Amino acid sequence: MRKWSLLVLLLTLLFVLSACGDKAEETSSGSKENAGEKKKEEKPKEWPYSFQFTDKAFEFPSSLKEAEETTQGKWWEKVEDGELKDSDKEKIVEAIAKIDKRDESEEIRAENIKRLFFETFHPELPGLATFEPREKISLEELNTGSGLKLNGQEVKENINVAIILDASGSMKAKQDGKSQMEIAKESINEFVSNLPEKTKVSLTIYGHEGSSSDADKAKSCKSIKEIYPLKSYSEDEFNKALSGVDPKGWTPIAASLTQAGKTLQGLNADNNTNVIYLVSDGEETCDGDPAKVAKELAQSNIKPIINVIGFAVGADQRDQLEEIAEHANGRYIQADNQQDLEEEFQKSNDAIGKWIDWHNQHIGAAIDQDNEDSGDLIDLDNKTMGRLIDFDNMVTGLLIDADNKHDLDPDVYDLVNEAIDDFYNKMSDDADEHYNTKKEMIDNAYNEAKEKIDETYQKNTD
């Protein structure tokens, strides 16, 4: 009898435990399904709801150059294009009020409101601080030489242009429906087709083999090829060579400069003007030292001018490209789109071509350069000040609106308002200083050239 009772009890316990296990499994399964559904429903927060409050201090850029190199605000393009809606402004006002109501010190709340404004509306500044007037036209050897200089070196009758084109994978990036490679090809074609008739040209590409993966790095870093050897320009041959270039891999700038130096080897700078144009959208990624190579080339007997065109290059990548140009009597040019790239090539083409009829162009060239550089400087200054004013008006207006609607803490309001005013005044003063300094450089270059022309003219007409 006892054995029977014990058996019944064991069977009952097994049934209960089994039921509990099924229920637990069902509950667990249901929880996973619900979690999965919630995960699917989650969407990335839109700005400014994704703004992260921190207890860190925030400072506006301390110089115009720093402001130019800082990424533009998330909604700056809306401001620039006139597409900022009232509902967008209301979201910022709400975000300001939310920050102000937090249980934090006045200073911390003010820091976060400043950062909210900056990360939302910081303008894209066009480059007044980094603008350098073109090389001045010198007439020191009026009777024996061309009298014209490119980046400080007299342009000789024999001109050799070695172009280096970045064919790394990043050149696949698109602008207005075209890849950066397509834009570069069109601009280079236009450039070489307008070079003086006696100019010799070569074209070297790099990064055109392999891929941007680590596995292909070694192969891609060795992919440097002169696809058009140094010789007179032939439209059909040059177009055919350029048309087959397809961006793929890494960026061996140093090795490509070494290759360009070999191309120009034996063309002594005493009677040759050797120019290397490097067109790249990024920095060295193959462990080379391009600035060192550039310096070595500049000290060799070919003494090439190395002009570097940074095509759609970010501020964090620009320093290395600028250093390459500085080490070889060259210029760094920031080209953010096709128009910038074509304009720079056109300016270079004009400078190279002036030796042909320099006798008749001295005054005209000096005036043209003065007008063009002055015009560029004025345009940069106007854009810079206009965008700074737009930023100042936008954020000041939103701060006032937030105060009217949500009665901000007066101390927080004053701290933010004062910081905005200080930033605008500092940038404005910095812009004025850059403008005045560079305008003086342009005027001095013109006056020195004109004085020499007038002196020579007087001697020959007395």
Query: How does pLDDT run across 329-358, given as a tens digit for each residue?
Result: 788 888 888 787 788 777 766 766 654 444
Q: Verify that 138 and 169 share a domain, yes or no.
A: no
21 or 66, higher pLDDT: 66
pLDDT surpasses 80 at 93: yes
At 167-181, the pLDDT tens digits run 998 888 888 888 888
pLDDT average, residue stretch 365-387: 88
Q: Across residues 37-60, what is the average pLDDT?
A: 82
The three-class DSSP label of residue 224 is strand
Q: Which helix (H) or strand (E) holds 408?
A: none
Least confident of 32-46, 69-83, 335-349, 426-440: 32-46
Cis peptide before 48 (omega within 30 of 0): yes
Could you tell me if 131 and 170 lie in one domain? no
Same domain (yes/no): 278, 385: no
Q: Of the residues 330, 345, 379, which one is the last residue of a structural domain?
A: 330
The answer to whether residues 276 and 306 touch, using CB atoms and an 8 Å cutoff, is: yes
Residue 341: left (phi > 0), alpha (psi -120 to 50), or beta? alpha
* CATH number of the CATH domain containing 157: 3.40.50.410
Q: Are residues 185 and 279 in the same domain?
A: yes
At residue 148 the predicted structure's pLDDT band, cuts being 50, 70 and 90, is very low
Asked if residue 268 and residue 233 are part of one domain, the reply reads yes
Are 84 and 228 within one domain?
no
Shared domain for 302 and 385, answered yes or no, is no
Contacts of 234 by beta carbon, 8 Å cutoff, 6+ apart: none
Average pLDDT, the chain: 83
- Give, in degrees to the nearest 5, the angle at Cα 151 between 145 and 152: 50
Residue 345 resides in a domain: no
Are 106 and 162 part of one and the same domain?
A: no
Q: Which of 364, 381, 391, 373 is nearest to 453 (CA)?
A: 364
Say what the pLDDT of residue 411 is. 97
Shared domain for 114 and 134, answered yes or no, is: yes
**Percent of the chain whose predicted confidence (pLDDT) is above 90:** 51
- Going by C-alpha positions, the residue among 219, 282, 288 that lies closest to residue 257 is 288
In whole angstroms, what is the distance from residue 361 CA to residue 208 CA?
42
- Residue 338 has a pLDDT of 79
Nearest by Cα to 167 from 263, 250, 276 = 250
46 domain-assigned: no
| Per-residue model confidence (pLDDT) at position 362 | 60
What pLDDT does residue 16 have? 47
Min mean pLDDT across 118-132, 163-177, 324-338 is at: 324-338
Of 312, 330, 348, the position where a domain reaches its end is 330
Please determine, for residue 313, whether its predicted confidence score (pLDDT) is greater than 80.
yes
pLDDT in the model for residue 140: 45
Q: Is the pLDDT of residue 19 over 60?
A: no
Section 96-107 average pLDDT = 96
Query: What is the distance between the alpha carbons of residues 88 and 79, in angstroms, rounded to a whole number?
Result: 11
Q: Assign 132 a pLDDT band (cuts: 50, 70, 90).
A: confident
Task: Kindly give, in sequence order, each residue whose CB lies less than 8 Å from that of residue 163, ignoring residues fewer than 6 positions away.
Answer: 188, 192, 201, 202, 203, 204, 276, 277, 279
**Tokens, residue 103:** 């249980």
Q: Are 155 and 355 in contact (CB under 8 A)?
A: yes
Span 304-333, average pLDDT: 85
End residue of a domain, out of 277, 309, 330: 330
The structure tokens listed for 166 are 């970045």
pLDDT at 153 over 80: no
Q: Is 351 a member of any domain?
A: no
Model confidence at 429, in pLDDT bands (50, 70, 90)? Answer: very high
The predicted structure's pLDDT at residue 154:
56
Q: What letter does residue 249 receive in the DSSP assignment? A: B
Distance CA 366, CA 453 (A): 10
The per-residue pLDDT for range 203-258, each reduced to its tens digit, is 999 988 888 899 999 999 999 999 999 999 999 999 999 888 888 899 999 999 99
- Across the range 307-317, mean pLDDT stands at 82
In-domain check, residue 377: yes
Name the helix (H) or strand (E) containing 86. helix 86-100
Pairwise CA distance, residues 318 & 388, whole Å: 23
What integer pLDDT is reported at residue 361 of this predicted model? 54
- CA-CA-CA-CA torsion sign (60, 61, 64, 69): negative
The answer on 136 and 172 residing in a single domain is no
Tally of domains in the chain? 2
Residue 105 and residue 218 share a domain: no
Question: What amino acid occupies position 219?
Answer: K
Whether 379 is covered by a domain: the verdict is yes
Q: Please tell me the predicted confidence (pLDDT) of residue 149.
A: 46
> Which residue range(s) make up the domain with 211?
152-330
| 17 domain-assigned | no
With respect to residue 347, please indicate whether it lies within any of the assigned structural domains: no
Please check whether residues 178 and 242 belong to one and the same domain.
yes
Beta strands in 75-199 (DSSP E): 149-150, 153-154, 158-166, 174-175, 178-179
Domain contains 4: no
> What pTM was computed for the model?
0.49
List the structure tokens of 297.
Answer: 């080339």
Cα–Cα dist 137/256, whole Å: 31
**pLDDT band at 281, cuts 50/70/90?**
confident
Neighbours of 82 (CB within 10 A): 6
